[in-house]
Amino acid sequence: MVRKRNTRLGNKYLIILVVAISFIACKNDPKPVLQEELVVVEKIPEDIYEFGFNLNDYVVKRDTIRSGDTFGIILERNNVGYPKIFNIAEKAKDTFDISRGLQVGKPYTLLCVKDSLETAKCFIYQPNLEDYVVINFQDSIQAYKSRKPIKYVEKVATGVIEENISLALEQQGLSQRLAYKMADEIYAWTIDFRRLQKGDKFKVIYTDKYIDDTIYTGVHDIKAAYFEHNKEPLYAFEFETDSVKGIIDYFNEKAKNLRRAFLKAPVKFKRISSRYNLKRRIAVYGYKVRPHKGTDFAASIGTPIMATASGTVTKSSYTRGNGNYVKIRHNATYETQYLHMQRRNVKVGDFVKQGEIIGWVGMTGNTGGPHVCYRFWKNGRQVDPFKQKLPEAKPISDSLKIKYLDFIAPIKKQLDSIPFRDDILEETLENKNNLISLKD
């Protein structure tokens, strides 16, 4: 009991001592403690420009076109009255069809006043990643189309086939678009990519495409390629043969065209679901003979349909059986037709280039699933395109041949100087072994 009371007394005297020392210390230091003044520096935001506007000057609202949206509904939601909306639409119609041009799912941007109402003053619509339409009604009404800045970056890639080209690209983190372009656009008629051999090699010089320096949109084109298949070297160089129509082909080092006049299929990522068959029997029709004079390529709805050869559109219409369809005359001998489209992208009289998108896969007309029925005419008679000896693409003219050979000379030199990936790895390993030997 005594010991506990002594402890309490000791704690009490200790507290008094600490307070006394603190008081003496303050008394001996007469300097006042100054509080440091806090200076707040307002940071001015950096200007952010997009579509030609400083976004810091506005309240920026971004959205996508929804089902039921119209230009008028969007502006009304953002405090623009209908008399003004009508006036804007009338002034803008020569530049952009507001009533029919807006597609569900496409993005738009509104630039609004920085006040409590946030009234819209500018409408910007983006039909794709590159292009945009500006309808500016801040003061006077202006409507115009423009395009975002695009940058192309040249790159090189090499690989050695172990199993297939997709794996060779994947192991290096390269775009599979390179494989599709080489297989479908460059070497479609010279190399069967389903039968590549182990040890086959390739080099490619290509360009990647960027929008606004930041948005990567993938491989733009292949400038040159070299494929060593079964130890046979196959060069390919991109060259424009018709600057007026913008026709670009691939030729080898001797100026021979690598393409044929027709692509093998009107869609990429294709699967043939029904072949040309004049003796076809269908259960739905009691197994009666119902000739199928086309080749069906199954593909998901919205897949782009390409013209298999250059030519002029002779029909772009709709019928109960064909649905939305397009027919193209390529020359006096050949015509092609593309059926059951979701939507057509060309009109009668248009000249289309090989590979150009003429529509999108759908299920219109008499069809049981999404596909494009590809029909092929030779001398006015429908035939099986896979059983035809199709002509080669138009050869390069004599006047262009000299220009072409001069054009590819430095590119071929660049291509030849690129080492294969395995050669680089072997050289690195050899250098490493030499260093180990020197240390020993």
DSSP string, 60-116: EEEEEPPTT--HHHHHHHTT--HHHHHHHHHHHTTT--HHHH--TT-EEEEEE-SSS
Q: What is the mean pLDDT of each run of 10 residues along the chain (440 residues)?
A: 46 48 50 56 77 94 94 94 92 87 94 95 94 94 93 93 89 87 84 87 94 87 94 94 79 90 82 73 58 86 93 95 95 94 96 92 90 93 87 82 95 94 54 54
- Predicted model pTM: 0.62
CA distances from 131 to 62, 107, 128, 148, 208 (A): 16, 11, 6, 6, 18
Which domain, by its residues, includes 187? 150-251
- Please indicate, yes or no, whether residues 89 and 57 belong to a single structural domain of this protein: yes
Please give the pLDDT value at position 58. Answer: 96
- Please indicate, yes or no, whether residues 352 and 277 belong to a single structural domain of this protein: yes
Q: How far apart are the first and last CA of the chain?
A: 82
Domain boundary among the residues 129, 147, 165 is at 147
- Please indicate, yes or no, whether residues 59 and 104 belong to a single structural domain of this protein: yes
- Please indicate, yes or no, whether residues 233 and 282 belong to a single structural domain of this protein: no
What one-letter code names the amino acid at 64?
Answer: T
- For residues 8, 9, 14, 19, the Cα torsion angle rounded to the nearest 10 degrees is 100
Cα–Cα nearest to 182, from 219, 225, 220: 225
- Please indicate, yes or no, whether residues 318 and 374 belong to a single structural domain of this protein: yes
Look at residue 394 and tell me if it is in a domain: no
- Please indicate, yes or no, whether residues 172 and 72 belong to a single structural domain of this protein: no
Look at residue 225 and tell me if it is in a domain: yes
CATH, residue 66: 3.10.450.350
Q: Give the integer Cα–Cα distance in Å for 306 and 329.
A: 14
Please give the pLDDT value at position 354. Answer: 86
- Please indicate, yes or no, whether residues 351 and 314 belong to a single structural domain of this protein: yes
CA distances from 107 to 110, 218, 402 (A): 10, 20, 48
Q: Give the integer Cα–Cα distance in Å for 258 and 222.
A: 14
Look at residue 265 and tell me if it is in a domain: no
Look at residue 75 and tell me if it is in a domain: yes
Work out whether the CA dihedral 428, 431, 437, 439 comes out positive or negative. Answer: negative
- Please indicate, yes or no, whether residues 176 and 219 belong to a single structural domain of this protein: yes
The 10 Å CB-count burial string (b at 16+, else e) for 246-278 is eebbbbebebebbbbbbbebbbbebeeeeebee
Cα 239 from chain centre: 22
- 299 burial type by CB count under 10 A (0-12 exposed, 13-18 middle, 19+ buried): buried
CB neighbourhood size of 405 (10 A): 16
Look at residue 183 and tell me if it is in a domain: yes
Please give the pLDDT value at position 424. Answer: 53
Domain boundary among the residues 115, 130, 147 is at 147
What's the number of domains the chain is made of? 3
- Please indicate, yes or no, whether residues 119 and 217 belong to a single structural domain of this protein: no
- Please indicate, yes or no, whether residues 104 and 170 belong to a single structural domain of this protein: no
Q: Give the integer Cα–Cα distance in Å for 151 and 221.
A: 13
Q: Give the integer Cα–Cα distance in Å for 174 and 172.
A: 5
- Please indicate, yes or no, whether residues 243 and 165 belong to a single structural domain of this protein: yes
Look at residue 156 and tell me if it is in a domain: yes
- Please indicate, yes or no, whether residues 281 and 183 belong to a single structural domain of this protein: no
